[in-house]
Amino acid sequence: MKQNFMSLCRETPYKNVLFSIKYMITLLQKRLLYFLSMILAAAFLGHVMFFIFFLTDAQICQAGVGKSGVMPIDSPEIKQVDGKKEREIEAIEIYKLGLEYSNSGQVDKAIQEYRKALEIDPNLAEAHLNLGWSYAIKKQNYEIALQETLEAIRLKPDMLTAHRNLWWIYRLQKMPEKALETLKNIIKLEPDEAVNYLNLGDTYVSDMKAFDLAIESYQRGLGIDPKNHYIHQKLGKAYEFRKKYDLAITEYKKTLELLPTDTYTYLFMAVALGKAGRQKEIAPLMKEAHETISKTMPLLDRWDLKLLKFFEGELSEEEILRKGELNNIHKCQALYYAGLKNIWEGKKAKGMDFLARCLDLKIDSLAEYEYAKTELELNRQK
């Protein structure tokens, strides 16, 4: 039977003390060696598992796309003798700081960090991409935006975010042919993505007034994603511009089946009813909208609900325009809906003036702003 250390001390005769001490020392040495070997084995296994599951998957964190997780700068496994890899990692860390500034709205600081990263690693495509987007959206410097985005694509030809940014920059520069060409390249890279056909339809509607091609594009998108409520809504607008009001209203209803609380789809349907000469149906529709929305969310003092009240007749034109003075987005929306109401009521000059005032606010990202441009052009052709 094996004896433990304490029992050995108790049972060893005094005359054999020296032997006992030697025996105990030997036993301690064996046990210490055993525990030390176990610790080293565990450390080695942990190191291997970390390498397999973390280091092999490390990639640049790119805004909106890609995997997150960047290897620490001091990871010994990725260091090279010439230090090149270390500098690339340093550039990535600086780039990530630029992303943090971008996400917090500190564009000037973000631009500085992107440029610092590119000084270290000029081939960091993601830094070129985000630098270009910063200049496009916040600085409206489309020359630099275009240059940086094209460089990102040169470095990573398959980076879809760069191609989409390029498409939007061309649109902002009023270059629809280039935007269309870019979208076709995107579709080649990603033919089964419904959003690409949504963007294609938007380009045909807003930039080229090619409504039949837009309708075809939206339908192709719905063929891929039939439950995409946004494409149904955009298809409704394209039908509306083609004066196919019944089809437009059908698409708006499909949108509401998928998203029953979407206030703006109700507003678009009100516009289609007004253009179709079915103004008497608008107030009941607005009442239905209030009832539907109230079942799922509290009816707070929301701006979109004020627009519903305007079409319902509870707010006058003067009141909705005054309430829209809070900010330019609300102002543009109030002018858009009031302008269209004036046009279908026969007060075309006043309605077009409202639409023109909406465009003076220059809010490219607002749907009503884009639609106001199309409405003005179509009404000028009459």
Q: What is the pLDDT of residues 108-124, one digit of tens each?
A: 999 999 999 999 999 99
Q: Compute the average pLDDT of residues 6-32.
A: 41
pLDDT value at residue 12: 34
3-state secondary structure string across 67-134: CCCCCCCCCHHHCCCCCHHHHHHHHHHHHHHHHHHHHCCCHHHHHHHHHHHHHHCCCCHHHHHHHHHH
Residue 107 domain-assigned (yes or no): yes
pLDDT value of residue 37: 55
Let me know whether 359 and 293 are in one domain.
yes
Looking at the structure, tell me whether residues 235 and 309 fall in a common domain: no
What is the domain count for the chain? 3
Q: Is there a domain that residue 93 lies in?
A: yes
Examine the domain organization and report whether 96 and 164 are in the same domain: yes
Last residue of a domain, one of 259, 286, 303: 259
User: Is 13 part of a structural domain of the chain?
Assistant: no
More confident: 9 or 163? 163
3-class DSSP string for 164-199:
HHHHHHHHHCCCHHHHHHHHHHHHHHCCCCHHHHHH
Range of the domain at 354: 276-382
Residues 179 and 251 in one domain: no
Residues 301 and 218 in one domain: no
Q: Is residue 183 located within the same domain as residue 235?
A: no
b/e burial code for range 16-27 (CB count within 10 A of at least 16 → b): eeeeeeeeeeee
Q: Which residues neighbour 357 within 8 Å (Cβ) at sequence distance 6 or greater?
A: 335
Average pLDDT for the chain = 82
**Judgement on whether residues 345 and 368 belong to the same structural domain of the protein:** yes
Q: How many helices (H) and strands (E) does the chain have?
A: 19, 0
Is 60 a member of any domain? no
266 found inside a domain? no
Q: Are residues 242 and 328 in the same domain?
A: no
Tell me the per-residue pLDDT of 240-281, one tens digit each, with 9 for 90 and over: 999 999 999 999 999 999 999 999 999 999 999 999 999 999
* Residues 175 and 201 both lie in one domain: no
Q: Over the stretch 203-225, which tens digit does the pLDDT of each residue have?
A: 999 999 999 999 999 999 999 99
Residues 250 and 280 both lie in one domain: no
For residue 368, pLDDT beyond 90: yes
Residue 84 confidence (pLDDT):
55
Per-residue pLDDT reduced to its tens digit, 66-111:
322 222 333 333 334 345 578 888 999 999 999 999 999 899 999 9
Q: Is pLDDT at 327 greater than 70 in this prediction?
A: yes
Give the pLDDT score at 74: 37
pLDDT category, 140, cuts 50, 70, 90? confident
Tell me, yes or no, whether 129 lies in a domain: yes
State the Cα–Cα distance between residues 281 and 275, nearest whole angstrom. 12
Q: If you average pLDDT over residues 227-239, what whole number do you get?
A: 98
